[in-house]
Structures are given as structure tokens and as C-alpha cells.
Amino acid sequence: MSTTDQRVAVVTGAARGIGAATALRLAGEGRAIAVLDLDAEACAETVAQIDAAGGRALAVGCDVSDAGQVRSAVDRIATELGAPQILVNNAGVLRDNLLFKMSDSDWDTVMNVHLRGAFLMTRACQSHMVDSGFGRIVNLSSSSALGNRGQANYSAAKAGLQGFTKTLAKELGKFGVTANSVAPGFIATDMTAATAARVGMGFEDFQAAAASQIPVQRVGRPEDIANAIAFFTGEAAGFVSGQVLYVAGGPLD
């Protein structure tokens, strides 16, 4: 593929963590990247790293749970970078609490960012994919989809994303669009650092405790997840659709 028909990938929540690593990895695969996050300025570091590596990237400020902002962001990406053909729904938040303490807003915030956000972004991008006869969608699920204490909201959203993914695969397959889900285990990012702080542990001790329970005896890095996403978004993965890949350093119960 020449640079004139370079495919455009949108990575949500790409200012840091797994999203930033994915943006860099997909840029390395020759994709032009829309680096999307709540605040465009927070995307500057990821964009600068892509630029420095000789890639092409655009910082886009957008709250994925806001329909108007999503519409404008995808229109702008299509105009300034090109029609999006790859979408990674990665933006996420935690509002952990045991069920009896979980507020309406803890529930709604998590549903809105993960589920509504993935729905709005996918609906806005799919017409570009269908029109071009090519699309790759990856939704970030989690090992918490199998159930996790203190995460009734998050585990429901992450399990919901698996059903969403399989439905997209069935509806969009005939248009050359695949949809898959990557479900990380423990990955060292600001998200897990915040969880360590919430439970009153130092991040190093928290990671060591997690690593001792993982068969490969280490916690994950954002690049571990970016590698799996690069496979699903690759040109060669057109016959792989509707799958959920747990990337967790071992099998899960």
C-alpha cells in the first residue's frame, strides 16, 4: 500500500497508557493515527512521538460519551486525515466500589464511557469503513468481564463490549469489516496505579502482588496489548472476526 492510500486509524483514550502504546504501534505499521482523548493538549506527547518516528498523527479532543462531540470529531478526522478504516475503542475509566456503596453516577459514568462511547464511535466510523469495503474494529474488554469484586459497573460494561463486538462482526462482515475484542489482564498504567493508591498500596508492591498470581510471573505492559491490537487490525487478519483474546500472561479461571 502506498502512502497516498495509507489507512487511517482512530485510537480513543490515546493520550497515555494502552491507547498511547497502540497509537505508536499502529503508526509503526504505517497507519495515519487520530490520537483521540478528552483533551487535545494531553494528546500532544503521543503525537510528537509518532511525528518523531516519521509517522502522521492528528490530536483530537473528544468525550466519546457525547454524541455531538463524536460526530464532529469523526467528521474532522475524515477531512483532515482521511476516512477512518480502523477504530480502537480503548477510552476507559474506573469507578470501583462494592455494590452496596456504588452510586448511580459510578454506574452511569462507566457505562457511558465504555459502552455508549464504543457505540457512538463505532456508529460514526462504520459508514467510512462500509463505503471503502474495509474496516477493522477492536474493542478493549478486560479480564474483569468474568467478574471482579468491587467492579459491578466495569465488569458489566466489559462483558457488554464482548457482546457488542460479536454483533458488529455479524452485521458488518459482509462489508469487509472485522470486529474483535482484546481483554487485558493486569497492565501497568495510570489506571492500575490509581487502583493501588485507592487500596492504600505502593504501586511497586501492588504490581509484585499481581505478578505472583500470573503464570508468566510479571504484570503486563501497554505494548503487550498494542501487539495483540496490531494483529487484529492487520491486513492479514480479515478472516478473524468476533473473537475475544485474553492477554493476561496466562489462562483465566
Give me the catalytic one of 107, 154, 164, 186. Answer: 154
Check binding of 186 to ligand NAD (CB under 6 A).
yes
- Cα(8)–Cα(85) distance, rounded to whole angstroms? 6
Q: Which residue is nearest to ligand NAD (CB)?
A: 17
User: By C-beta, is 134 or 160 nearer to ligand NAD?
Assistant: 160
The minimum distance between CB 3 and ligand NAD, in angstroms, equals: 28
Of residues 19 and 134, the one with the C-beta less far from ligand NAD:
19
Of the candidates 40, 102, 130, 191, which one interacts with ligand NAD according to CB under 6 A?
191
Instruction: Name residues contacting ligand NAD, limited to 39-68 (CB under 6 A).
Output: 63-65
224 in contact with ligand NAD (CB under 6 A): no
Interface region with ligand NAD, contact rule CB under 6 A, candidates 14-22, 52-60, 70-78, 168-176: 14-22
- Annotated active-site residue 154? The verdict is yes
Please give the size of the binding site for ligand NAD, defined by CB under 6 A.
Answer: 27
155 part of the interface to ligand NAD, by CB under 6 A: no
Q: How far is the CB of 127 from ligand NAD (least distance, A)?
A: 21
Q: Which residues bind ligand NAD (CB under 6 A)?
A: 12-13, 15-19, 37-38, 63-65, 90-93, 113, 117, 140, 142, 184, 186-187, 189-192
